Structure 1
Amino acid sequence: MPPTRTTGGQPPQPPRSPAPAARRSGRRGPRRYTRRDVAVLGVLLGVPILLDVFVIWGPTLASVVLSFTSWDGIGDTTWVGTENYENLFTNYPVFWPAVRHNLLWLAFLGLVATPFGLLLAVLIDRGVRFSRFYQSTFYLPVVLSLAVVGFIAQLVLSRDQGALNAIVGNEQNPTDWLGDPDLNLWMVLLAAAWRHTGYVMILYLAGLKAVDPTLKEAAAIDGAGEAQTFFRVVLPTLRPVNVLVAVITVIEALRAFDVVYAVNKGRNGLELLSVLVTDNIVGEASRIGFGSAIAVVLLLFSLGFVVTFLGREIRGEKNR
């Protein structure tokens, strides 16, 4: 090694290593995607986007346009402006009962089925005996479609051969649970809530499993009871689950169709907006423009509830 020179009494300096320069020269620039990468990304992103556009947004925009026309699906399309909406609000007697039934459906699922599902989740999370059995039993209806739930409701609530009349001893003077317009909606709501409760229970149970146990321990040290700990510590941490459950509840309530159509095709006290859409678009009359107007009203109802709720949640999150 050659001697290191000294200047002005300074200690000798070791020779500079060329490693930094080598590292600088070895830096990689931005990655360049090959044609194969672009093709893969195009397929993975493009196919779902195209399906979403053609299956969801395309028919949605088509329904909005068709709601201002008169069309039977075969002949020419005639532009009628807001005539379909005027007839819907003033000259269609089953429209307002259907709106009332949908709102009642939403209130029942939101105020009865959802809190009951939360209660079941809390009880199972506390580790009661046979919790696995209860969890599987209450979740079982979720794997069934609402059409199957409707058929089960017919077997249980039928007037002549239903199990409920046989259990309560009304065989001599049976109650028409599904034929009486004052009763059938409540019976169908119970059947729909039976399925919705299990779904809500699983969502809240997953959220409760993710709650940090130290939060509960800290609340207990501060002297909080079980109820105070739940409502002031645990429930606020379940805010994302609450948002998800609220959105699902609104969607389930406003798109309800299968169970009432399986019972009596959505008539005689079971009218819903989704049933009116089906009756007008694929029914004998085939009034596609009029049915599209009902579908747009249903869409606005759904968006109104969901956007309002999510807006309040977002503003509340920002204010924290």
Structure 2
Amino acid sequence: MRSARRFSRRDILVAAAMLAIPVLADLAFIWGPAVVSIALSLFKWSGIGGLHARSCIAGGLFPDNGCFTGVQNYHEAATNYPPFWPAVQHNLIWLGVFVFIAAPLGMFFAVLIDTGLRGNRVYQTILFMPVMLSLALIGIIWEFIYSPNYGLINTVIGHNTNANLIDWLGNPNLNLWAVLVEASWRQAGYVMVLYLAGLKAVDANLKEAARIDGANAWQVFWRVTFPSMMPMNVVVAVVTVIESLRAFDLVYITNKGTNGLELLSALITNNIVGETSRIGFGSALGVVLLVISLIPISVFVYQMFGRRETR
């Protein structure tokens, strides 16, 4: 029998460093800020240097001086902060559009390309192009498309004069849906790439056997292909939920998340780095978003690891 290899001191130090660096980075940039945000959400704090900050430092962070507020920030958000519930509603609308429009559209593109369509590489590149662009650049591109006087859409439909122009991004009844078109344009390409990877893992023999048994293309997809992609379906579902909750760039570029484009992420930024800095209140909004985000993450972890352990 071969004796077990003994690791040298240098091997142990290298392994420890390779493990410690990502763990420390994770603690410093993910879990550390999350814990600090939870703590700050319990205080009324306007940042270092503010009058209230100096009074807190001088008097100590205790309930009698008004610095420690407990769950008061959360109560204020739910009852006395008008943009909060519209932001929650808009996030849910964003999620619904991603789940019922962008994700199925991306899956359709993937299935179509996977069939060996002529020129599929060209189509795949065109559909994936928005994913390679930053969301900030996508927002700028679509601002030109939506421009009331000179935009492509108004010019094509003949509504580019002052008498009948349509302000797609300025009208609070339209701007959310206009920005969702931008976001779905990118999200569909992202989902397409994920499903293309999932389709490559489906056993071709199963699909061929179903065709021999008389199944048509629709039946083969829903009874063989789609169930075989269950792990990828879970990944797409979690990514879709998370992307809808962390949506920020497009609405902030458009109007900083106001006038019908309120989202939780934009409210967090506006309260923490806005003209009136309310870091404690903004942190409370961040914790709300964190709790909501943990739901799909927990589902993903259970689907990927919990079921494997029970098998």
Same fold by TM-score greater than 0.5: yes
Structure 2 CA distance for aligned equivalents of residues 315 and 229 of structure 1: 29
CA deviation after TM superposition for structure 1 residue 129, in Å: 1.5
Higher deviation after alignment, 161-170 or 50-59: 161-170
Higher deviation after alignment, 286-295 or 201-210: 201-210
Q: Choose which of 160, 179, 187 in structure 2 pairs with 1:188.
A: 179
| 2:230 corresponds to 1:230 | no
Q: The residue matched to 2:168 in structure 1 has which SS?
A: coil
CA deviation after TM superposition for structure 1 residue 313, in Å: 7.4
Aligned to 1:69: 43
Q: The residue matched to 2:231 in structure 1 has which SS?
A: helix
Give, as a single letter, the amino acid of the residue that structure 2 aligns with 1:46. Answer: A
| 2:148 corresponds to 1:174 | no
Give, as a single letter, the amino acid of the residue that structure 2 aligns with 1:148. Answer: L
Give, as a single letter, the amino acid of the residue that structure 1 aligns with 2:197. Answer: A
Q: Which has the larger radius of gyration?
A: 1
Aligned to 1:54: 28
- Provide the TM-score with structure 1 as the length reference: 0.88
Unaligned runs of 5+ in 2: 62-66
CA deviation after TM superposition for structure 1 residue 160, in Å: 2.1
Q: The residue matched to 1:41 in structure 2 has which SS?
A: helix
Aligned to 1:269: 260
Quick check: 1:250–1:306 contact (8 Å CA) kept in 2?
A: no
Q: Deviations over 1:185-209 (max 9, x none)?
A: 0010010000000011011111112
| 2:255 corresponds to 1:287 | no
Give, as a single letter, the amino acid of the residue that structure 1 aligns with 2:224. Answer: V
Q: The residue matched to 1:70 in structure 2 has which SS?
A: coil
Q: Deviations over 1:143-198 (max 9, x none)?
A: 01111111111110011221211111112211000011111100100100000000
Give, as a single letter, the amino acid of the residue that structure 2 aligns with 1:99. Answer: V
Q: Deviations over 1:13-53 (max 9, x none)?
A: xxxxxxxxxxxxxx444332211101111221111110000
Higher deviation after alignment, 216-225 or 98-107: 216-225
Overall identity of the aligned pairs, in %: 53
Q: Choose which of 86, 103, 125 in structure 1 pairs with 2:92.
A: 103
CA deviation after TM superposition for structure 1 residue 316, in Å: 7.2
Structure 2 CA distance for aligned equivalents of residues 303 and 183 of structure 1: 31
Structure 2 CA distance for aligned equivalents of residues 295 and 186 of structure 1: 24
Structure 2 CA distance for aligned equivalents of residues 201 and 122 of structure 1: 8
CA deviation after TM superposition for structure 1 residue 233, in Å: 0.5
Structure 1 CA distance for aligned equivalents of residues 217 and 236 of structure 2: 23
| 2:287 corresponds to 1:296 | yes
Structure 1 CA distance for aligned equivalents of residues 94 and 308 of structure 2: 29
| 2:122 corresponds to 1:133 | yes
Structure 2 CA distance for aligned equivalents of residues 166 and 280 of structure 1: 38
Quick check: 1:243–1:310 contact (8 Å CA) kept in 2?
A: no
Quick check: 1:159–1:165 contact (8 Å CA) kept in 2?
A: yes
Aligned to 2:139: 150
* RMSD between superposed Cα atoms in Å: 1.7
Aligned to 2:193: 202
Structure 2 CA distance for aligned equivalents of residues 212 and 308 of structure 1: 26
Structure 2 CA distance for aligned equivalents of residues 61 and 156 of structure 1: 42
- Provide the TM-score with structure 2 as the length reference: 0.90
Structure 2 CA distance for aligned equivalents of residues 312 and 35 of structure 1: 39
